[in-house]
């Protein structure tokens, strides 16, 4: 068995993994990036639509173009990319983390590092997760799989399409399937509001005249060998209106019903998982409950923009490098999700420095106020013209706002939407 040793290892070679690895390289540390696909870039490689990089590069790029910018930087450093390599187990041995990997080129590898950054991204929820009744015919795909089939493999999965769920990948695939000559009959959403970004509703549905059925549930999938149609039932005042059910004929169903952080490796390693995000609990330095193991990007919590993924990953890489240099965090304050807030990440802040927080609201609201309380005292109020669950909110809290927590024991920071 081949053994390799580095200062740090990054699991996942997408935008988050490459951004974190570049932070190690900038500080002269050795680093390996482990990627199960044949090349770096992660999910970006199948996202050929534009809209990436508006914050990071101040220009509009496709997914592959965005990934290529980072890959070019990685190739100019001493970072070791290990593509076509899968981590099957992570363990702690003394001060080292041992990653057992299988590689198509190198066989079985044991990779040792003192710090690890988890950047495995997320996966799609499937039909089994949402329990749609009906038979099991061919023609039911997740939207991401359909995206890969069309954009990378060159296959069109069907001609008459219904998309269940209004997540961003599903919205983008509504447009993509229309471009390749398919008829997208509907996008069906159980919630009373869309799950995807407003810009995708406009550009991918409205511009193509694709109906969006809000507050509707898919109650059956018809077909024996191949999908023949779906049954859609309205929801009124929280109740299914079965007498108003209707059928949409189709031969293909795409599921866009949410994303889940890819944390099987994390759980097996003993990392504590936050049930609200399905990602690890992390402190103010983005470190998990296992010292020296950090998390960032969609494996930590599902982001809406890759620009935010990169921003967070840079901080994770920098914090991990500081940890390797022997710098340990000082006092930390617990962060609590208050009224109308689903979660806040990270779950702790450090009063001694500025802190970047990411959160998602539970409500759709105009003229909202983001309220920050420290020990029940308001320290910041931010007016928001509109908030909705699909769009992540970012917030930076400085030392001045947190200085009262430096001396107070058991301080709590609460963030709410009013």
Q: What is the pLDDT of residues 55-70, one digit of tens each?
A: 999 999 999 999 999 9
Q: Note the pLDDT tens digit of each residue in 45-54.
A: 999 998 899 9
Q: Do 126-257 and 334-417 agree at the fold level? A: no
Helix, strand, or coil here: 181?
Answer: coil
Quote the percentage of the chain above a pLDDT of 90.
88
**Residue 406 pLDDT:** 65
Helix, strand, or coil here: 150?
Answer: helix
Task: Decide: 280 and 118 in contact? Cβ < 8 Å.
Answer: yes
**Residue 229 pLDDT:** 97
Helical residues (DSSP H) of 258-374, grouped into ranges: 264-269, 306-324
Q: Tell me which residue of 340, 356, 345, 342 sits closest to 397, measured CA to CA.
A: 356
* Whether the predicted pLDDT of 368 surpasses 80: yes
Total count of residues recorded for the chain: 418
Going by pLDDT thresholds of 50, 70 and 90, the confidence category of residue 22 is very high
Going by pLDDT thresholds of 50, 70 and 90, the confidence category of residue 33 is very high
Going by pLDDT thresholds of 50, 70 and 90, the confidence category of residue 202 is very high
Parallel, antiparallel or unpaired: strands 31-34 and 80-82: parallel
| Pairwise CA distance, residues 156 & 72, whole Å | 32
CATH 3.50.50.60 fits 2-123+260-329, yes or no: yes
Q: Note the pLDDT tens digit of each residue in 72-100.
A: 999 999 999 999 999 999 999 998 999 99
| Pairwise CA distance, residues 372 & 169, whole Å | 32
CATH superfamily, with its number, for domain 126-257: FAD/NAD(P)-binding domain (3.50.50.60)
**Residue 330 pLDDT:** 81
Quote the percentage of the chain above a pLDDT of 70.
99
Q: Would you state the structure tokens that stand for residue 272, as one six-digit string?
A: 């504590």
Q: Which sign does the torsion angle of CA 316, 375, 377, 393 carry?
A: positive
Taking the domains of the chain in order of start, what are their residue ranges?
2-123+260-329, 126-257, 334-417
Could you say which architecture CATH assigns to the domain 334-417? Sandwich (2.60)
Mean pLDDT score, 5-24: 98
Within 8 A by CB and 6+ apart from 124, the residues are 142, 143, 144, 145, 169, 255, 256, 257, 258, 259, 260
* Backbone torsions φ then ψ of 324, nearest 5 degrees: -65, -30
């Amino acid at each position: 068995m081949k053994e390799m040793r580095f200062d740090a290892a990054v699991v996942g070679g997408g935008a988050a993994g490459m951004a974190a690895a570049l932070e190690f390289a900038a500080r002269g540390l050795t680093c390996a990036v482990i990627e199960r696909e044949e090349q770096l870039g992660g999910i970006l490689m199948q996202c050929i639509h534009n809209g990436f990089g508006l914050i990071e590069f101040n220009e509009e790029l496709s997914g592959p173009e965005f990934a290529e910018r980072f890959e070019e930087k990685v190739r100019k450093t001493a970072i070791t990319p290990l593509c076509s390599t899968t981590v099957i187990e992570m363990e702690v041995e003394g001060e080292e983390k041992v990653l057992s990997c299988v590689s198509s080129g190198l066989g079985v590898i044991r990779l040792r590092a003192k710090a690890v950054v988890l950047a495995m991204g997320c996966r799609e929820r499937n039909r089994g997760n949402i329990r749609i009744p009906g038979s099991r015919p061919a023609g039911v795909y997740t939207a991401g799989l359909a995206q890969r089939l069309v954009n990378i493999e060159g296959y069109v999965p069907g001609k008459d399409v219904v998309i269940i769920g209004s997540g961003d990948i599903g919205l983008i695939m509504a447009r993509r399937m229309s471009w390749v000559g398919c008829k997208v009959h509907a996008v069906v959403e159980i919630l009373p509001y869309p799950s995807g970004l407003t810009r995708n509703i406009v550009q991918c549905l409205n511009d193509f005249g694709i109906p969006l059925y809000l507050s509707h549930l898919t109650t059956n999938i018809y077909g024996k060998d191949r999908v023949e149609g779906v049954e859609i039932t309205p929801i009124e005042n929280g109740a299914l209106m079965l007498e108003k059910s209707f059928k949409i004929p189709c031969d293909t169903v795409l599921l866009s019903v949410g994303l889940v952080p890819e944390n099987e490796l994390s759980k097996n390693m003993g990392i504590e998982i936050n049930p609200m995000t399905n990602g690890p609990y992390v402190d103010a330095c983005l470190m998990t409950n296992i010292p020296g193991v950090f998390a960032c990007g969609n494996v930590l919590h599902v982001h809406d923009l890759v620009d935010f993924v990169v921003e967070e990953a840079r901080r994770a890489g920098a914090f991990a490098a500081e940890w390797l240099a022997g710098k340990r965090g000082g006092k930390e304050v617990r962060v609590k999700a208050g009224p109308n807030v689903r979660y806040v990440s990270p779950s702790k802040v450090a009063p001694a420095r500025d802190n970047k927080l990411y959160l998602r609201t539970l409500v759709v609201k105009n003229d909202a106020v983001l309220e920050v309380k420290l020990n029940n005292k308001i320290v910041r109020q931010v007016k928001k013209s509109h908030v909705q669950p699909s769009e992540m909110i970012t917030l930076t809290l400085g030392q001045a706002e947190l200085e009262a927590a430096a001396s107070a024991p058991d301080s709590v920071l609460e963030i709410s939407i009013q």
